[in-house]
A and B are shown apart, each in its own frame.
Chain A
Amino acid sequence: MNVTVTVNGSQVEAEVPDRTLLVHFLRDVAGLTATNIGCDTSSCGACTVLLDGRSVKSCTMLAAQADGRSVVTLEGLADGDGELHAVQRAFRAEHGLQCGFCTPGMVMAAVSLLSENPDPSEAEVRTALEGNLCRCTGYHNIVRAVLAAAGERGGR
């Protein structure tokens, strides 16, 4: 079917098989490869993107379901001038990433969390990231980064 998605502010339109998953639409049609696939059971969150501003697992959604809607991936997070989002900056400052594979999904999950809860406690950050697996960092610095980003954005 014909699918049109606003991806990071630009319209991406393509004729794709009905069964196309959003994650493959983003990676193979829109050519945005930051979004990763880490599992086949909707368990890992590596594929997390924002759909109309909210975090979703793009491996568990058809491109057709996103038709006419707006998606933001890691590539679209920095503003037009390339100024990094507070969460991106904080991940670097706090060493919230190692191999980087979980990072795109983790960052998008964190952005979604802070838009719903600008001033989370450590415990709230930890539960809000329950759907995003990271095998490298032990989450310690990811949690620090999200708290730091919240602080910087005036949450606290």
Chain B
Amino acid sequence: MIPAPFTYKRASSVDEAVDLVARDGEDAKFLAGGHSLLPLMKLRLAVPQTLVDIGRLGELSYIRDEGDHIAVGAATTHGELASSGLLGRDLPLLAHAAGQVGDPQVRHCGTIGGSLAHADPAADLPAVVLALDATLVARGPAGSREIAAADFFRGLFETALEPGELLTEIRIGKPAAPGWAFQKFTKRAIDWAIVGVAVQGGRVALVNMDQTPVRAVAVESALADGAAPAEAAAHAAAGTSPSEDLNATRAYREHLARVLVRRALEAAQAAG
């Protein structure tokens, strides 16, 4: 299985990357870790004409303490997130969840920016940035703008990024609300989540319970009203619209969401 032919270009700066993609328009794509894009291209489910490699841009790969927030470069790999001392201390949810993505080889290549931009409903980090209420920074030919995580995921594999816009940074406010947990339910360790839950403080986000990652709003409001984890978790599937596949019926996903949310809330309580 081989990708259809395309032209490869390596950008030497963020500006150049944005330029190169703007020049080739519709048929050009950014290539970060390549661990979502290349598998699709090998199966010829994606056939871009041009790839602009941003994977090696040092200016997109960092984890920095900016005082009131932590800034993560979009091309930072899952592995770097997982092993970051700074995140381990201040944002363990992100570090821990990144450590659950795929396998070590995938984590050595795949990036947070790629994961968010790809917006797979079964991916882990999109739900995590929702639970963290992160702010995403995008750069396009017209300059930079900030997008709230809550506004970023628009549909199945669809985000608020305009064509040609590059995700450059993920900002997460400090200090994080106390208590966090991440629950990922899979058949095998290597698998994508059948259902997942990210909790930070009173914010709860779900993996694979809809076309996009979603906040479990009903759970959050129950918590805000003082409900205990088990009570709040009963609302986990409210308002969701999970798909059916080989691994789960809709009813099973809804059930899993309730169980996992309860477990996550209990773990968060214990951690907080």
Contact = CB atoms under 8 A, between A and B. Distances in A.
Per the CB under 8 Å rule, do A and B touch in the complex? yes
Interface stretch (B98-106, B128-136, B218-226): B98-106
A84 B151 CA distance: 54
Contact of B10 (A19, A48, A64, A127): A64
A45 B2 contact: no
A21 B38 CA distance: 10
A6 interface: no
Given A18-B5, A130-B189, A131-B190, A40 B43 contact: yes
Interface string A71-100: 000000000000000000000000000000
B39 A41 contact: yes
Contact of A131 (B5, B8, B38, B104): B104
A60 interface: yes
A55 interface: yes
Contacts of A116: 83, 104
A151 to B, nearest CB: 21
Interface residues of B, number: 31
B6 interface: yes
A54 B78 CA distance: 13
A138 interface: no
Contacts of A40: 1, 42-43
Contacts, number: 84
Nearest to B102: A131
Given A54-B79, A60-B34, A61-B38, A45 B5 contact: no
B105 A55 contact: yes
Contacts of A56: 105, 108-109
B158 interface: no
B53 A65 contact: yes
Contacts of B5: 17-19
A107 interface: no
Nearest to B8: A18
Contacts of A132: 103
A60 B103 contact: no
Contacts of B55: 65
Given A17-B5, A112-B104, A131-B105, A60 B190 contact: no
B14 to A, nearest CB: 18
Contacts of B42: 40-41, 59-60
Interface of B: 1-8, 10, 31, 34-35, 38-39, 42-43, 51, 53, 55, 79, 83, 102-106, 108-109, 188-190
* Complex A-B, nearest 6 residue pairs according to Cβ-Cβ distance, in ascending order: A131-B103, A40-B1, A18-B8, A130-B189, A54-B108, A130-B190
